[in-house]
Amino acid sequence: ASEEVSKSLQAMKEILCGTNDKEPPTEAVAQLAQELYSSGLLVTLIADLQLIDFEGKKDVTQIFNNILRRQIGARSPTVEYISSHPHILSMLLKGYEAPQIALRCGIMLRECIRHEPLAKIVLFSNQFRDFFKYVELSTFDIASDAFATFKIFEDYEKLLLSENYVTKRQSLKIFEDYEKLLLSENYVTKRQSLK
């Protein structure tokens, strides 16, 4: 079964990314994207990422990020799909708690939050404050990856303030959590927070 999954992931990656000598066929990419949405396979790939071998995890990340960047005119169909299925973002964020998939989930989550509608979903979710926990994890590479993802939200600071999305109570909690990072016993966490 594992070999079949690997072959299927390789085939999907070739459809989306093409090969060394030819570009991906537009119609096949559109069909694959539609199938990923309608079958729920995109969700399944993330939900079962832990069960996929190392190379397969890399393929899933490449497939996910490639399909997320796909645009049709001004539309981004995958951004729209994830916006209507926000549990995908929750699964990616929760991925920081599983060391074997944390870095892969981080890569996919960073790609998601580069799109404002998806960043808003994460920012205003109850899970957003989990970043303060993830950046303090004892595993250096996971904590650093979580901090890299957390830093992308700096770009949305003006959006938060200008549109009054965060209540005073929420912003006080965020600042309290951030202050804990500044006072952290962990030198790296403290230094990155000061930056």
How do residues 108-137 score in pLDDT, each as one tens digit?
Answer: 999 999 998 999 899 888 888 888 888 888
Beta carbons within 10 angstroms of residue 187's beta carbon: 8
- What are the backbone dihedrals phi and psi of residue 55, each rounded to the nearest 5 degrees, phi first? -65, -40
- Give the tokens for residue 115: 């799109």
How do residues 137-168 score in pLDDT, each as one tens digit?
Answer: 878 899 889 888 888 877 766 655 555 555 55
pTM for the predicted model, two decimal places: 0.83
Among residues 115, 102, 92, 112, the alpha carbon closest in space to that of 46 is found at 92
